[in-house]
Structure 1
Amino acid sequence: MPAPTRAPGIAEPRIRYWRRPQNPPTGGMRDARPYRIGIRWGMASWMLEAPSCAVTDTVEHSFRQVLATRDLQFLPSTPLWVFLQWLAQQGFLLHGSPQGGLHELRPGDKAYGQPDEFSNIRGVYAASDGLWALMYALHGPNIQSKSDMGLRLRLPHGQWSEMRYFLSVAPRDKEVQDPRALLAPGFVYVLERQGFAPSPPYEHPGLGFVQEAHWVNPGSVRPLLVVPVSPADFVLPIRLHDADVVAARAKADPWGFPWLDSCSPPERR
């Protein structure tokens, strides 16, 4: 499979996660709509969008206290994924891992085997998106394989879509029917962008030009903050698939993501 074609002259898209209402409620967050599953321009039926949330001034003040003090006790009673998205909006990167107690993140010494060049760079990977980072933080020990996505699609006239997501997991035990039962508590490490490079936009043969929320640093990185997370913090539906079937289809067609005919329908949330 030839290397993907890079999109010339496309700037990194502006991060927009919040739609602040004109009259936000005092001290809380308003959920404008649940996740959507639908087909429209630039969006296949299996692509998911995050809930639209507005962060009030009171909630944002609490978030800034956490960031300034590195003390999670100042977190308000809002979902943790909202805090993670806010951190990404402020320019921080997020590294999800099942492993806690890491004082330094080091480049992995393994072959990633991805079809695009960027995803095979040896380094510390991070996301400029909270929900995508959660997919890695909540990776439980009973997951045999995982198919995941967090990206924007290039739309007409060069603009970029909102973030699109996908998550499907394969159980080690074939009897497991609930994909959410495979998730486990984990950790999201908050990192500064210094030393990281973003994934360039590229042409995905199946999706068109895409911009992944994907960053890599070839060196070691010390986190600013560690946020413990749980499966309840992941708000999007999850699919279940057969690891062997997907592996065979991915080998035959590396760009055929997400090989949906081998996946279950998404769970209802």
Structure 2
Amino acid sequence: MADASLRPWMLEAPRVKLPEAAAQAFQAALMAREPGLLPEGVPRWIFLDGLARQGFLLHGSARGDLTGFEPRTPHDLSPDEFSKRTGVFAASDGLWAMMYALRDRSRVARMLNMALQVQEAGGGWSSMRYFLSLAPRGPAVTDGRDLLSPGFVYVLPPEGFEQMPPYGWPGLGTVREPHWVSPNPVRPRLCVPVMPGDFPLPVRTHDAARVDALARLDPWGFPWLDPSD
């Protein structure tokens, strides 16, 4: 039976089974918190998710030389107030953090993205669902992956962070995001380099001005695509 909460634009992470030797090396890298120990073929997002399961949080950036993060106020189109707070934002999900790490800021005018779970009938939560679309700065592109570039995901301590509470999404139900914020400066514990090829999901494109206008008319209409999508 099809999952009624899974919209056509929602994506799920691929299921990956690591060979035994790779799985052992993965565990060694995870315990040492050393991405250099990862063998060829082990997806970086799985390593990042492993760190998140250990309780760490993740922050994506185009820069690999940062020694600390200061609170800031983001540009956010969503209707919730949590995402508009002034703070250091982080994720407890590897793929979502990678979206921020991999977008090429010199060629991307705006990013439209999502990671969330939907509450199921029994009170549990669905698997994580994702969406990523980039608005090009300049000429249009046919494949959003062309707007990705190498980046870095920083591993942050969880102390001082607050997770966004579950909330009601009209027409979808109760949802929760792997979305965290701290009002204080944060120093990272580790920096993990990531490449566009490490991101396993399709990347869409959109027109920034059109989406901004539609978002103002219908704040809950994310991702403001054509009805056929």
Same fold by TM-score greater than 0.5: yes
What runs of 5+ residues in structure 2 fail to find an aligned partner?
none
Give the 3 Å change call, closer, same or farther, for CA 175–121 of structure 1 in structure 2.
closer
Consecutive aligned runs of 4 or more in structure 1 exceeding 6 Å deviation: none
Change (3 A) 1:89 1:70: closer
Amino acid at match of 1:85: D
The aligned counterpart of 1:224 is 189
Relative to structure 1, the CA distance from residue 85 to residue 111 in structure 2 (aligned partners, 3 Å threshold; closer, same or farther) is: closer
Deviation at 1:63, TM superposition (A): 3.8
How far 1:98 sits from its partner (Å)?
A: 1.1
- Return the letter of the residue paired with 2:82: F
Equivalent in the alignment of 2:93? 129
Q: Please, what TM-score do these two structures have when normalized by structure 1?
A: 0.78
* Matches of 2:149 and 2:74, distance apart in 1: 23
Q: Cα distance, 1:111 vs. partner?
A: 5.4
CA contact (8 A) 2:113 2:130 kept: yes
Q: Helix, strand or coil for the counterpart of 1:247?
A: helix
Identify if the C-alpha distance between structure 1 residues 210 and 197 changes in structure 2 by more than 3 Å, giving closer, same or farther. same
Question: Does the aligned pair in 1 maintain the 2:73–2:84 contact within 8 Å?
Answer: no
Q: Residue in 2 aligned with 1:243?
A: 208
Match of 2:5 in 1: 42
TM-score, normalising length from structure 2? 0.90
Are the counterparts in 1 of residues 74 and 83 from structure 2 also a CA contact under 8 Å? no
1:167 to 132, 147, 151: 132
Query: What is the percent sequence identity of the aligned residues?
Result: 51
Q: Corresponding residue for 2:63?
A: 99
CA distance in 2, matches of 1:194, 1:60: 29
Q: Deviations over 1:166-207 (max 9, x none)?
A: 011111123322211111111100112111111100002242
Structure 2 counterpart of 1:189: 154
Q: Secondary structure at the match of 1:52?
A: coil
How many angstroms apart in 1 are the aligned matches of 2:103 and 2:227? 20
Gaps of 5+ in 1: 1-37
Equivalent residue runs for 1:3-152 within 5 Å: 40-55=3-18, 58-67=21-30, 69-77=32-40, 78-109=42-73, 112=76, 114-140=78-104, 141-152=106-117
Deviations 1:92-115 (Å, cap 9, x if unpaired)?
Answer: 111011122111111114554541
Judging changes above 3 Å, is the alpha-carbon distance between structure 1 residues 165 and 110 closer, same or farther for their aligned structure 2 residues?
closer
Q: Please report how far the alpha carbon of residue 66 of structure 1 lies from its aligned counterpart in structure 2 after TM superposition.
A: 3.3
Q: Tell me the CA shift for residue 144 of structure 1.
A: 1.1
After TM superposition, the structure 1 stretch with the greater mean CA deviation from structure 2, 164-173 or 48-57, is 48-57
Q: Report the CA distance between 1:45 and its aligned residue.
A: 1.3
- Native 8 Å contact 1:42 1:154 kept in 2: no
Contact 1:203-1:210 within 8 A present in 2 as well: yes
Match of 1:7 in 2: none
Give the CA deviation at 1:131.
0.4
* CA deviation map 1:72-96 (0-9, x unaligned): 3211221211211221222211101
Does 2:122 correspond to 1:157? yes
Q: Which has the higher contact order (CA 8 A, sep 6+)?
A: 2
User: Which amino acid in 2 is paired with 1:169?
Assistant: L
